[in-house]
């Protein structure tokens, strides 16, 4: 007997997307970057930083002693030591970090990079290049996810944290050992718990990276004046936010995360919850946040076939980069922006790293 269909077809849907796109165009970017002088830029920068800090709930984060604890110290490859450090980032909130320490090459203190992770790589395990875990090895292959290890091989001390919801910091919903759980993150669950409390995932991750920067200062072994940040995808998002809000970050590498919000996060509205900050688009687009990086050395990596660029592809990238360039131009430092564009999909691109870093 044929089973009776339990639903009916809908011939026409009455949706909101087009109206929201129009609304963003009409009402968005109230705090856009438009300064014509360095003095105006400085005023805009202070105001915008305060605004962004408040939107992401940074004022609601609680300070505490870091209480660093070294849980493990092993040699991995090329003489690189890998330490596992546990830091208290808020009272009773802990962040495990892999610290990759290459051999010293001369008398000078080693320079440092923070390397926050993106999605689907089990947090620090892929960034620090832990290929002994087969599921992680596959993701390293796919996304070139081991950028922490790549930087350590170039002679930098690289701090690869589990950001909130990733790796050993997954909340209860995804703590299983299945590959789909191990590689995944609990951003959705964190966003649900945090936002009604005036906090956001971006705010929590930015706070934790600020604490990691404090740790470098507190440890005092490495060059504190030349700290950089590198990240791909969700790690690029964290790199953008940390560097935009904290001048202690002197060199910025953002891979696969620089585009306009309307195409890439409003139209592509199935993206992860960690990307979404209540009220953000009323005030800025991503290029405005990027304008806060001026005039520090900045590498932006964009792949022409990255689906996250949205339906207009590279046009959606170039428009935001033009806003950032305008800010650098005020300082006569446009040449500090290195835009690495290649034909490929959503993955990290290590080919020109050394060239960029050697200036
Ligand atoms: Zn996420």
d(CA 155, CA 203): 30
Ligand 1 centroid from CA 9, angstroms: 33
Instruction: Note the pLDDT of residue 359.
Output: 79
Structure-token pair, residue 202: 């971006």
Give the confidence band of 218 by pLDDT, cuts at 50, 70, 90: very high
Mean pLDDT for all residues in the chain: 97
Ligand 1 centroid from CA 3, angstroms: 40
- 81 has pLDDT over 70: yes
Mean of pLDDT values over 180-193: 97
The residues near 177 (Cβ < 8 Å, ≥ 6 apart) are none
pTM for this model (two decimals): 0.97
pLDDT in tens, 141-179: 999 999 999 999 999 999 999 999 999 999 999 999 999
Ligand 1 centroid from CA 68, angstroms: 26
d(CA 217, CA 267): 41
Instruction: Note the pLDDT of residue 105.
Output: 85
Ligand 1 centroid from CA 171, angstroms: 13
pLDDT in tens, 101-129: 999 988 899 999 999 999 999 999 999 99
Ligand 1 centroid from CA 155, angstroms: 30
Mean of pLDDT values over 71-99: 98
Mean of pLDDT values over 330-358: 96
302 strand-pairing partners = 341
Ligand 1 centroid from CA 79, angstroms: 33
Mean of pLDDT values over 198-205: 98
Ligand 1 centroid from CA 234, angstroms: 7
pLDDT in tens, 23-38: 999 999 999 999 999 9
Burial class (CB in 10 A: 0-12, 13-18, 19+), 316: buried
Map out the domains of the chain with their CATH numbers.
26-357 (3.40.50.1820)
Ligand 1 centroid from CA 97, angstroms: 18
Mean of pLDDT values over 302-307: 97
Neighbours of ion ligand 1 (CB under 5 A): 187, 272, 274
- 185 has pLDDT over 70: yes
The residues near 122 (Cβ < 8 Å, ≥ 6 apart) are 133, 135, 136, 139, 166, 167, 182, 183
The percentage of the chain sitting over the pLDDT mark of 70, rounded to a whole number, equals: 100
Ligand 1 centroid from CA 184, angstroms: 9
Ligand 1 centroid from CA 288, angstroms: 22
The percentage of the chain sitting over the pLDDT mark of 90, rounded to a whole number, equals: 97
Instruction: Note the pLDDT of residue 1.
Output: 66
Burial 40-54 (b: 16+ CB within 10 A, else e): ebeebbeebbebbbe
d(CA 276, CA 200): 8
Ligand 1 centroid from CA 237, angstroms: 10
Structure-token pair, residue 3: 């089973």
Mean of pLDDT values over 68-86: 97
- 3 has pLDDT over 90: no
- 82 has pLDDT over 90: yes
Ligand 1 centroid from CA 175, angstroms: 16
Mean of pLDDT values over 178-202: 97
Ligand 1 centroid from CA 305, angstroms: 21
Ligand 1 centroid from CA 271, angstroms: 8
Ligand 1 centroid from CA 180, angstroms: 14
């Amino acid at each position: 007997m044929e089973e009776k269909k339990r639903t009916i077809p809908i011939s026409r849907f009455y949706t909101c997307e087009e109206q929201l796109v129009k609304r963003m165009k009409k009402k968005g970017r109230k705090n856009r970057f438009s300064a014509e002088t360095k003095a105006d830029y400085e005023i805009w920068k202070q105001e915008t930083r305060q605004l962004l800090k408040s939107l992401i709930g940074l004022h609601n984060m609680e300070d505490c002693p870091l209480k660093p604890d070294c849980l493990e110290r092993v040699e991995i490859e090329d003489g690189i030591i890998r330490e596992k450090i546990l830091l208290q980032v808020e009272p009773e909130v802990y962040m495990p970090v892999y610290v990759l320490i290459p051999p010293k090459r001369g008398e000078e203190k080693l320079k440092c990079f923070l390397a926050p992770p993106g999605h689907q790589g089990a947090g620090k395990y892929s960034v620090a290049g832990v290929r002994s875990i087969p599921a992680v090895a596959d993701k390293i292959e796919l996304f070139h996810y081991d950028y922490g290890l790549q930087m350590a091989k170039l002679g930098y001390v690289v701090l690869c944290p589990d950001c909130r919801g990733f790796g050993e910091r997954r909340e209860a919903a995804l703590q299983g050992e299945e590959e789909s759980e191990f590689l995944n993150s609990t951003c959705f669950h964190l966003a649900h718990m945090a936002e009604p409390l005036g906090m956001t995932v971006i705010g929590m991750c930015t706070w934790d990276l600020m604490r990691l920067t404090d740790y470098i200062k507190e440890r005092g072994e490495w060059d504190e004046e030349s700290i950089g940040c590198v990240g791909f995808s969700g790690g690029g998002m964290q790199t953008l936010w940390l560097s935009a809000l904290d001048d202690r970050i002197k060199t910025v590498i953002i891979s696969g995360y620089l585009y306009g919000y309307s195409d890439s996060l409003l139209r592509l509205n199935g993206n992860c919850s960690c990307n979404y900050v209540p009220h953000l688009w009323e005030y800025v687009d991503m290029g405005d946040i990027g304008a806060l990086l001026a005039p520090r050395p900045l590498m932006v990596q964009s792949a022409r076939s990255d689906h996250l660029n949205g339906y207009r592809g590279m046009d959606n990238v170039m428009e935001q980069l033009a806003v950032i360039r305008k800010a650098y131009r005020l300082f006569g430092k446009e040449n500090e922006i290195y835009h690495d564009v290649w034909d490929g999909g959503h993955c990290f691109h290590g080919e020109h790293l050394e060239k960029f870093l050697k200036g």
